[in-house]
Amino acid sequence: MAGDSGAREGRPMVRVEDLRRSYGTGPAAVHALRGVSFEVARGELVALKGRSGSGKTTLLNLVGGLDVPDGGRIHVDGTDLADLGEEGLLALRRNRIGFVFQSFALVPILTAAENVGVPMRLRRADPAEREERVRLLLSMVGLADHAEQRPTELSGGQQQRVAIARALANRPALLLADEPTGQLDAETGRAMMELLRAVVRGEGVTALVATHDAQLLDLADRVLELNDGVITEPTAAVAAPTG
Ligand SMILES: Nc1ncnc2c1ncn2[C@@H]1O[C@H](COP(=O)(O)OP(=O)(O)O)[C@@H](O)[C@H]1O
Ligand SMILES: [Mg+2]
């Protein structure tokens, strides 16, 4: 909305209120999120910690507009997702949000450079601008010399670097990563998290990263913990006076 951008700057990048999402109905229903509320400030790297089945993927899919909640509100970059129709959600996902999946999800027949360029093709970016941005992103993630290789010719860590570069192609405001280190060994996983840390600083992006790897939490500005569909903030609990 015109004249709204100034007010938008002061708002959190993500605001989630009393979010609920169940799968199935009746006694067999699984309550994946049972009233989740939190905020992510602009420029923050927030880790979303939780055991397998705690609701991390469900939450990221909702924040990214890939799924619709049963109850509660989600604001991304000042927009209430409930106010967006199919088209609006598509535009949000394409232009404002970058996704990184545990399984990399690269297109096997495309080179690293072509994979990174896909989101820019989808929004019909100028080809010269696209090629320059792809080159810059590949060099940022340390893959300048691997631009012409296909995913099968790259290691797991390198494939995930391509996926991160691809997620950043359209200069998203928000980066959502679902266990991006889940298929990597500990050392490569650590390097990946350090790359995300550098990207959040360098590109001025906000990131919400799901992980069950406790080793990586120290690289986050803040940790949110999901337990059975309910959120707790361990860092806030530490700051609170005891006794
Ligand atoms: N499509 C689905 N249908 C039924 N149950 C699901 C579906 N997706 C997730 N669940 C259930 O919801 C809960 C949370 O899952 P998920 O969000 O994938 O957790 P996490 O990513 O932390 O492992 C789990 O009990 C899971 O089995
Ligand atoms: Mg998951």
**Model confidence pLDDT, tens digit, residues 50-95:** 999 999 999 999 999 999 999 999 999 999 999 999 999 999 999 9
pLDDT of amino acid 9? 66
Q: 166, 47, 152, 164: which is closest to 108 by C-alpha?
A: 152
pLDDT of amino acid 236? 45
Position 188 confidence tier, pLDDT thresholds 50, 70, 90 = confident
**Rounded CA gap, 116 and 109, in Å?**
13
Largest CA distance in the chain: 62
Span 117-169, pLDDT tens digits = 999 999 899 999 999 999 999 999 999 999 999 999 999 999 999 999 999 99
pLDDT of amino acid 232? 83
Amino acid at 110: L
Report CA(18)–ligand 2 centroid distance (Å): 20
pTM: 0.90
Query: Percent of the chain beyond pLDDT 70?
Result: 92
pLDDT of amino acid 234? 60
Q: Is the pLDDT of residue 242 over 80?
A: no
Which protein residues are within 6 Å of ligand 1, measured from CB?
A: 23, 30, 32, 50, 52-58
**Position with higher pLDDT, 212 vs 205:** 205
Rg from Cα positions in the chain: 18
In the chain, domain spans: 11-94+207-243
DSSP state for residue 241 in the 8-state scheme: P
The CATH topology of domain 11-94+207-243 is: Rossmann fold (3.40.50)
Report CA(21)–ligand 1 centroid distance (Å): 10
Q: Of the residues 21, 23, 101, which should be mutated to test ligand 1's pocket, given the most ligand atoms within 8 Å of the CB?
A: 23
Q: Of the residues 49, 57, 226, 227, which should be mutated to test ligand 1's pocket, given the most ligand atoms within 8 Å of the CB?
A: 57
Q: Taking the CB of residue 28, how many other CB atoms lie within 10 A of it?
A: 7
Span 144-154, pLDDT tens digits = 999 999 999 99
Q: Is the pLDDT of residue 238 over 60?
A: no
Span 21-54, pLDDT tens digits = 999 998 999 999 999 999 999 999 999 999 999 9
Nearest CA to ligand 1 atom 14: 55
- In degrees, rounded to 5, the angle at the alpha carbon of residue 74 between the alpha carbons of residues 70 and 80 is 115
Tabulate helix, strand, coil % of the chain (nearest 5): 40, 25, 35
Nearest ligand 1 atom to the CA of 59 is 17
Report CA(31)–ligand 1 centroid distance (Å): 9
Q: Is the pLDDT of residue 233 over 80?
A: no
Phi-psi sector, 179: left (phi>0), alpha (psi -120 to 50), beta:
left
pLDDT of amino acid 5? 52
Nearest ligand 1 atom to the CA of 33 is 14
pLDDT of amino acid 2? 43
Tokens 């998203």 found at: 172
pLDDT of amino acid 7? 56
Nearest ligand 1 atom to the CA of 54 is 22
- In degrees, rounded to 5, the angle at the alpha carbon of residue 229 between the alpha carbons of residues 226 and 230 is 65
Q: 60, 128, 140: which is closest to 93 by C-alpha?
A: 60
Q: Is the pLDDT of residue 224 over 60?
A: yes
